[in-house]
Every structure is written in structure tokens, then in C-alpha cells.
Structure 1
């Protein structure tokens, strides 16, 4: 068992609670993105024990974070929204130099790659102007809403693995975010189980697709990932604070996010070798 993955999962779990912040981006920062995809893709293979040893502690850390910090995250977003969001802006921007090294942009990127970055960045940024579905949180399951919650969990988990796209933000757009957060805060096991089942199925399907694309179209995928990450900054940017104290605190939290990203990013992480 790779028990150090508990703390990695804990960090990923915190960010998965926040709309706009991608768990996939955090996996890149922690240097485990390729391993994560390989482990999820291989969990049903003959080497499932090895992959389980990677995923189980990671999942445990994610679960601990979600169950223990959902109320804390709710409080921070409601009462200290701008400084909290600026921390994650710094965290996301801080991973870009690492991604640039991984992709070796100067050597491998051509005009088409930069066009893809701009297009995907603008496309994702435009979702910031989409009004999320306004729905009452679901507290009791029936046949219809169970199917809807399962499919929402599936969609959210597919986004979760793509750096730059937040699974929580997808749930927000689908009108399920308040239901998911409420279920975690109040330990509503049936709703957690249904959404969780959708998440698991989505992870199994999307991990194989993303792994294939990273292997066979590496540079194109890196360009796409960079574009998505840049677009996600627009989504979570909370605006300029209105008073001097808030500006100072937001600058500090932004710098803290940058420092955390730089400290955790691993330049020795294995590059995916392929042609694009």
C-alpha cells in the first residue's frame, strides 16, 4: 500500500469540494497524474492488487477530506470567498511552469497547439457566464432522481480527471452540487452511494480514454490541458476586493497558492513519450 497517497488524496479531496478547482490539476501538481490514470484504467486487470495499493490510500484521503472539511469549505466560501478563491487561483497558475516543462513547449509546440490552447481556454472560460441550474437540494431518493444523480456523478467524475475542468463545477451546472455537499455534510448515505457509483463508473471509462489520448497524442493533449487550466482561472476568479485589507489578504493567499504549487510540483515526474 502506498500510504503516503493518503495526504495526496486529502489535498485532492479538498479541491474536489470547490467548484472551478480541478482534482486533475492537483494530481499534476503532486506529480501523480499519469499514475492515477494508469491505476484507474488497470483496476480491472490482472495487476489489480498493485493498482489497488495506489488507489485505496488515495481514495481514503479524498473521503476523509470530503467528510471532514465539507462544512469548513462551505464556511470559507460563504464568509471568506475572495481570499479562498485567490489561493486556488495561485495554485492553478503555479502549475503552468511545470506543465510547460513537461510538454517542452519551445521544442514541441507549433502554431496549431497555441491555437488549441486559446480556443479551449476561451470555451471553458465562457462557462463562467452560464447560470447554474437553480434546484432544491435532494434529500430523499426515488427512481427518477436516483438515475439523475448517478448520471451527474458520472459526468462530474469524467471532468474530475481532466486538469482545468472541475467535477464540482459540472455538478453545479447540472444543479446537483448543493445536493452533493448537503449529503456529505449530513452523511446522507443513500445519496452519497448513488452519486459515488456514478463517479466510479465515470472514472473507469474516462481514465482509459484520457490515457489513450495522452499516449498517442501527447503534445496535443498537453496543449488542451494548458488551455483548460487557463480557462479555469477565469471561472474561479472572484473579482478585485473592494477594500485595502481584503486586497492584502487576497494577495497573500494568492502567493501562498503559488508557493504550494511550486513546492509540490515535481520536475522529475516521468514524461509521457509519444508523438502528437
Structure 2
């Protein structure tokens, strides 16, 4: 059945939310993809695209490259992926120009909203597999939460903007795009490359952006296949790990910390807590809406007449 224009716009907006989040330190694009229901589509689609390109290249000498590549490409839900990627790119640039300066000007308030968003979003991977958690699952999640807590508390470095460094930094940071709980922008901030990257977007520095894009593509092609394999073969345990990573990464969004990521005494508590609650409520509303939508679709499916 053909998709409506509204459906394409909706997927573009969902992708835009993921793209905008990647311009903001501390906010994981993977987390936002979970919130808006794009995560499985993005990981699965990217995985099939990587496989298709690989098969096209490796099977060309045997004359089966194009055919085997098309098999993988047909498994991608292009009606979701293409609008989402377009929206992601457009909103990423817009967020880098508009939202990033606001976050820098009002970091405590911005982090308060994002803290509430991510806190509520923990429910998504926690219940995503539909299987109960056993005591050792909580232990595994705790270990990864502690690791994420430690990483997000590291002081920032100041690496030079040499093309080789930018390439490898992009390769590492892009992994956070598909890994809920870790922010690609936050990783760049830790390396001291966040501001140069944001400036390159605003200044249209195509040399810097080209090197960054090449590194990001390399990192994504290597990591996304691993994540796709884990989700397809160890779905519940992968979600346990992701839940822990997301919980530990909340440390990066704690509103009361200084530029060196040291905790400071709370200030302006009523407004900050209210913004936390607002962010939390937005995600809860989205989860409830998505649940009711799925319930309605299931009810329509059960009531549909069965053809002979």
C-alpha cells in the first residue's frame, strides 16, 4: 500500500528529532530514535545497506554483485529511512546553528529538560524485549551504567583538528548515534572537537566536513553490523546493556555541574526541577500514545474478517 504524504512528513520529523539531538552534547541520537520509534528501522536499514554495498563490491568478480546487493537493498524500508535521513540532515544543521547556542547560554535549564527526557526513556529498552529481568540482568546493567557514568565524567581534552584525528574522532563519535545512552556530540566535546565541528557546519568548511563524513561513514559501517547482529541474536541482553548505558549516561545531563563536569551545589531548584518533570512528561506522553496506537492497530487486526 502506498504511503501518504503525511506519513513521509511524519518520518522526516522523527528523523529530524534524532538529527537535532546529535547537535547537542549529552543527548544521544540513539535514545531519541528509541523515543520516536525509529531505532529498529535505522539499525536494520543501515545494516542491510552496508551488507548490500559489501556484497556488490566483493561479488563483482563472480558476476553476482548487483543481484546480491539488490537483495539486501530490498530489505530496507526506504519509505521510512529516506525521509528520516533527510529530516535528520536538515535538523542537524538547524540545531547546530540555532539550538546549540541556546544550550550554551542556558546549560542548566537545557540539561534539566534532557535529563527528564532520558530518564523516562529508560522504560523503552527496559521493557523492549517483553521478557522479565533476572537478578543477574540487573548486575550486568549496573556494570555498564558504571562504565557510562565514568566515561561521561571525564574532563575534556583539546585535540588538534588534524584530518587524521578528525577522521578517527568521527568514526568513534558516530557509534554513539546508534548506541542509546551515549552522545556523539558529547564524545566530540570530550575530545575538544565539538566547537570546531559546529563551526565547520556553520562556516560550510567542506574540507573538514568531508573528512568528518568519511570517518563517520567508516565507523558506522563497522559498528552498525555488530549492533544489528546483537539485536537479532541477543535481543534481550542487548537491551539490558543499552538500559545500563542510558542510566549511567544521565550523569552527563545532570543540571548542576561546572564546565569541568564536577558537581556543584544546586541553584534555581524549582525551575530546574519543573523542567525535569516537563521533559519526563513529554516522553511518558509519547510512550502512552505509541502504546495506544499499537493497541488500536492490534484491535483492528483481530476484528478484520478472515478470507476463506
Alignment of 1:134 onto 2:158? yes
1:81 correspondence with 2:98: no
- Equivalent position to 1:99, from 122, 125, 133: 125
Instruction: Using the TM superposition, name which of 223-232 and 197-206 deviates more.
Output: 197-206
- CA contact 2:20–2:94 (8 Å) conserved in 1: no
* Partner Cα separation in structure 2 for residue 241 and residue 253 of structure 1: 18
Q: 1:231 aligned to 248, 272, 275, which one?
A: 248
Which stretch shifts more, 13-22 or 250-259? 250-259
Contact 2:33 2:39 in 1 (8 A): yes
Gaps in structure 1 of 5+ consecutive residues: 139-144, 270-276
2:43 to 24, 37, 57: 37
Distance 1:251 1:129 in 2: 22
* Rounded Cα–Cα distance in structure 1 between residues aligned with 2:230 and 2:144: 16
Provide the rounded CA distance (Å) in 2 between the counterparts of 1:13 and 1:249. Answer: 27
SS at match of 2:247: helix
Residue of structure 1 equivalent to 2:16: 10
Change (3 A) 1:211 1:190: same
Instruction: Give me the whole-angstrom Cα distance separating, in 1, the residues matched to 2:163 and 2:84.
Output: 27
Contact kept, 8 Å, 1:6 with 1:62, in 2: the verdict is yes
For residues 214 and 77 of structure 2, what CA distance do their matches in structure 1 show? Answer: 19
Larger RCO, structure (CA 8 Å, separation 6 or more): 1
Structure 2 counterpart SS, 1:191: helix
Aligned to 1:160: 177
Q: 1:186 aligns with which of 203, 206, 227?
A: 203
2:135 pairs with one of 111, 116, 130: 111
Task: From the superposition, tell whether residues 241 and 17 of structure 1 become closer, same or farther in structure 2 (CA, over 3 Å).
Answer: farther
Q: Report how many residues are paired.
A: 258
Where structure 2 has 5 or more consecutive residues not aligned to the other structure, the ranges are: 53-68, 257-263, 296-308
CA change 1:7–1:178 in 2 (3 A) is same
Q: Conserved in 2, the CA contact under 8 Å of 1:21 and 1:232? A: no
Which of 280, 296, 299 is 1:258 aligned to? 280
The match for 1:272 is none
SS in 2 for 1:4: helix
Between the aligned partners of 2:97 and 2:173, the Cα distance in structure 1 is: 20
Moved more, 199-208 or 117-126: 199-208
- Displacement of 1:20 in angstroms is 1.7
Give the superposition deviation at 1:13. 1.4
Partner in structure 1 of residue 303 of structure 2: none
Larger radius of gyration: 2
Give the RMSD, CA atoms, in angstroms: 2.1
Q: TM-score, normalised by structure 1?
A: 0.85
Alpha-carbon displacement from aligned partner over 1:173-219 (angstroms, at most 9, x marks no partner): 22221211111122212211221222222222222111111121122
- What is the TM-score with the length of structure 2 in the denominator? 0.77
